[in-house]
């Protein structure tokens, strides 16, 4: 799978945020650890510690969902440009960490693009939660997860495409029964940013309650302003989750600080695990018609290219 199968939104996002290829870097770090001379003080060899870490992290994932729920925005805090409409677009994500204390930091970027070169067709006017707001969720995980976009950019997929979130939970956490799994999540959203009018960025960072940073489901959201007659709107997302460096040093020792280049950067950033998402026709025509009180709630055939 290559660039030809990507939407413009995903191509542009990948050009700015190239894949880290975490599994390959982790394999390379294990090999480097086994080449390191053993410590004169004795103890567990670095190679064995790294092998354990790799096994501990195997199969963890972060993922977007296959659909972005959208509906007209009814809030009174945003005034649209005359003639334009406001839409609330949800961005559900699911985290399945296998490291001891979950993820210490999560960063999410989503970019919207109108078909063709219609840059003026839309703009992001509000992000939810807002900066320093608390993301809280109590969710039953059962939505389908998104993996196709990650395959397009060459990332190894830990589970098959179109897998349900609760099925992933059963596989990664050895549950005896598939779902429903209900998780309570709480993170502080410490940084938000609207990117060039068409994108959104969140950073979730709250390590004060380690028991709450395990398997989680969050829903972020944007408010889009869309002009009348706008063409098809696509979106792409990039998601990264990181470990705390102190946890990493406690787990494998400080030998990783002597690594060089991309390997050292990979460890210093907290062994990020990543995912891409891609969504076509975020506001399909039937949804526009329904919002205007048009012909019924059943989806109509998608508009032509």
In the numeric block, which tokens belong to residue 106?
């999560």
| Structural element, H or E, at residue 105 | strand 105-114
DSSP 25-62: HHHHHHHHHHHSPPPTT-SS-HHHHHHHHHHHHTT-EE
Whole-prediction pTM value? 0.84
Does residue 74 register a pLDDT over 60? yes
pLDDT of residue 300: 41
pLDDT, average across residues 293-305: 44
Segment of 36-40, 85-89, 133-137 carrying the highest mean pLDDT: 85-89
pLDDT of residue 137: 64
**H-type helices in 175-258, by residue range?**
245-252
Does residue 59 register a pLDDT over 80? no
- Half-sphere exposure (Cβ direction) of 242: Cα atoms closer than 13 Å: 19
Kindly state the percentage of the chain with pLDDT values over 90: 30
Does residue 211 register a pLDDT over 70? no
């Amino acid at each position: 799978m290559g660039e030809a199968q990507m939407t413009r939104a995903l191509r542009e996002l990948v050009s700015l945020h190239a894949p880290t290829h975490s599994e390959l870097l982790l394999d390379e770090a294990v090999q480097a650890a086994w080449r390191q001379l053993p410590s004169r003080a004795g103890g567990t060899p670095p190679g064995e510690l790294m092998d354990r870490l790799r096994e501990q992290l195997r199969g963890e994932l972060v993922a977007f969902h296959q659909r972005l729920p959208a509906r007209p925005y009814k809030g009174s805090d945003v005034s649209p440009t005359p003639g334009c409409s406001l839409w609330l677009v949800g961005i559900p994500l699911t985290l399945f960490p296998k490291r001891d204390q979950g993820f210490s930091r999560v960063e999410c970027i989503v970019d919207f693009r109108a078909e063709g070169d219609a840059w003026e067709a839309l703009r992001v006017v509000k992000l939810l939660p807002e900066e320093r707001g608390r993301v809280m969720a109590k969710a039953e995980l059962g939505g389908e997860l998104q993996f196709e976009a990650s395959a397009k950019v060459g990332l190894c997929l830990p589970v098959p495409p179109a897998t349900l979130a609760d099925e992933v939970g059963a596989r990664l956490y050895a549950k005896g029964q598939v779902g429903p799994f209900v998780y309570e999540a709480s993170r502080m959203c410490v940084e938000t940013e609207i990117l060039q009018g068409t994108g959104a960025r969140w950073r979730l960072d709250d390590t004060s309650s380690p028991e709450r940073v395990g398997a989680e489901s969050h829903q972020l959201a944007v408010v889009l302003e869309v002009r009348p007659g706008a063409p098809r709107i696509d979106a792409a997302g990039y998601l990264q989750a990181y470990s705390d460096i102190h946890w990493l040093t406690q787990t494998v020792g400080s030998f990783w600080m002597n690594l060089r280049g991309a390997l050292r950067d990979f460890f210093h950033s907290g062994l990020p695990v990543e995912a891409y998402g891609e969504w076509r026709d975020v506001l399909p025509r039937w949804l526009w018609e329904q919002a205007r009180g048009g012909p019924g709630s059943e989806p109509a055939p998608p508009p032509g290219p």
